[in-house]
Chains A and B, each alone.
Chain A
């Protein structure tokens, strides 16, 4: 293992922002894979996954020099500043680094960070980004592939996670890291999991296992793991978004990963002043809860749950 400072940004009042990379195997060999941790400073699960991965790879490489067969670069995070303040985005101007790619080295601070990160990560065969969802939800781990990456869905199956979501691209996606990796011919995946702000070890460890499985199947490491799931392909229309019709205190009755049936109560909403039950949210379909609103106060018309519908997921197998 080689620990490197990939780049740094100086600060008036703080320590310089140092972005560290941990390199395994031999630089420039194939196959190669880069794994980038969270850009959002509240994505703790993702930081855990990335750091555990460094620990795992280091221990095995120490025991067996031939353990890594290609090259693996892990960058646990590019945004320590925000982590240290409990902020989502870049502390000074609240910009999201993941809308700055491919970056511009003569531009704004976050564009420079994006540009330097991109320069260090755009020449890999496989590229994995660890992400939390940006809205207030908790979700079961899944692989996200952009529509432009449809040709390597089979590769996405190597993670062995239950769901592979195909994301319809919006103009905003063109400035994301995964989109730009795709443009540069890496096979790029987002692994999305957990809930912002706290460590969910159970879900996080599933993602960790998935990455190890991927590295094994793509012959990047010499290791054995269990077979994972075949990976249900989930197209945008296969997900049912269930909205609240009332606002108030949100009492959830169902968890992510639960199989639910049509007509099953999922949550109750109570009037936040007089305690009246104002709505029981009912599942409109059979399926698996992939995503749940994660805050105990809810707005009217908020998305309370997303359910992957059973019948459509089967059609995509």
Chain B
């Protein structure tokens, strides 16, 4: 059932509306489990739209399997999505830095507040992001260290390539995921693909993973699928960042999602005017290239790649 969860009138004959599609069984009790699938908080990240579509399509066709509540929220920043704008249009702010929001603040904070209010009470939530337009990402779940024990087992059910456990910076306290986790909703953040695009196989694979998770927690009745991927977390290895030290045009040499060796060439920064190579980028470790720069123009500092180091063997010691 499609429901409106927030409405605010805009100046010229339009209403900004947030919508969800709720799938639920005929009988609901207090023990009925509920999950919220949220995406589109960043308006230039479209990968989640496809996942919502596939999930809704599956649930439409398999009504008899639904034992819990599945709420699908595809576009939490509707004007952003409509205008290829990452932030909240007119205000130029990142909605995902304004949670839990406030009704006595500017519109983005009111929208954030409405999202929290409507998702509140869910047992689980998944917030799907694409990367921005600059980077292409292998599907990954990002979890802050403080919630790792609780969330890793859940994330593994998504049958995803990589679980990145990071040390939270305080600024992440203003994200949707943090707000929901502190309200008792176990919330996973998925990052995958690239901004402004849909990577079909990632969407299909995440949808299968979400259905798998739903089956595990008893929201749908369905045979749990065998895992197809080896999920790795970085608890026993490091993530290396490769940043540009020169400005120019970045030309990657390697494909995304490959294993690289320490010292291997990742790409070059070139200068079209002089015809010179400004910098040659080299892998700092052996590991998995899970992030690669998609947008070619770079400044000093621009992120070019992230590599998950191969797990250290002596972790037991």
Q: Do A and B make up one complex? A: yes
Interface segment among A19-27, A183-191, A296-304: the answer is A296-304
B302–A171 touching, CB < 8 Å: no
Instruction: Name B104's closest neighbour in chain A (CB-CB).
Output: A241
B150 within 8 A of A: no
Q: How far is the CA of A28 from the CA of B100 in the complex (A)?
A: 44
Contacting residues, chain B, for A248 (C-beta < 8 A): 11-12
A89 within 8 A of B: yes
Chain A residues, CB < 8 A from B103: 301
8 Å CB interface, B40-99 against A: 86-87, 90-93, 97
Contact residues of A: prevailing secondary structure: loop
Q: Give 1 or 0 for each of B219-261: 1 = CB within 8 Å of chain A CB.
A: 0000000000000000000000101001111000000000000
In the complex, whether A92 has a CB less than 8 A from a CB of chain B is yes
Across the interface, do A12 and B11 meet the contact criterion of CB distance under 8 Å?
no
- Contact between chains at A12 and B247 (CB < 8 Å): yes
Residues in A whose Cβ lies below 8 Å from that of B271 = 12
- Number of A interface residues in the complex (CB < 8 A): 41
- Chain B residues with CB under 8 A of A243: 104
In the complex, identify which listed stretch (A57-65, A71-79, A101-109) lies at the interface while the others stay far away. A101-109
Are A9 and B300 CB-contacts (below 8 A) given A94-B86, A172-B174, A175-B170? yes
A316 on interface, CB distance cutoff 8 Å = no
| Residue contact B8 to A300, C-beta cutoff 8 Å | yes
| B310 interfacial by beta-carbon distance below 8 Å | no
Q: Which residue of the partner chain B has the closest CB to A87?
A: B92
Which residue of the partner chain B has the closest CB to A298?
A: B11
Is the pair A301, B91 in contact by a Cβ cutoff of 8 Å?
A: no
A18 CB → nearest B CB, Å: 14
| Contact B110–A99 (Cβ < 8 Å) | no
Name the contact of A247 in the complex, choosing from B11, B297, B300 (C-beta under 8 A). Answer: B11
Give B239 Cβ to nearest chain A Cβ, in Å. 13
Q: Residues 12-30 of chain B: 1 if any A CB is under 8 Å from the residue's CB, otherwise 0?
A: 1100100000000000000
Are the CB atoms of A107 and B243 closer together than 8 Å?
Answer: yes
Q: Contact string, A135-153, partner B, CB cutoff 8 A, digits 1/0?
A: 1100000000000000000
Residues of B within 8 A of A174 (CB): 170-171
Contact with A along B142-178 (1 / 0, CB 8 A): 0000000000000000000000000001111110000
- Name the residue of chain B whose CB is nearest to the CB of A134: B93
Q: What residues of A have a CB within 8 angstroms of the CB of B92 in the complex?
A: 88-89, 94, 134
- B132 adjacent to chain A (CB < 8 Å): yes
B residues 93-128 in Cβ contact with A at 8 Å: 93, 97, 103-107, 110
B107 near A299 with CB under 8 A, answer yes
In the complex, whether B134 has a CB less than 8 A from a CB of chain A is yes
Which residues of chain A come closer than 8 Å to B12, judged between CB atoms?
A: 248, 272-273, 297
Residues of B that sit less than 8 Å from A by CB: 8-13, 16, 86-87, 90-93, 97, 103-107, 110, 132, 134, 169-174, 241, 243, 246-249, 271, 297-303
Given known contacts A12-B248, A171-B174, what 5 new A-B pairs fall within 8 Å (CB)? A12-B247, A109-B302, A110-B301, A301-B107, A302-B107
Closest 7 CB pairs of A and B: A109-B301, A171-B173, A297-B11, A247-B9, A300-B9, A109-B299, A174-B170
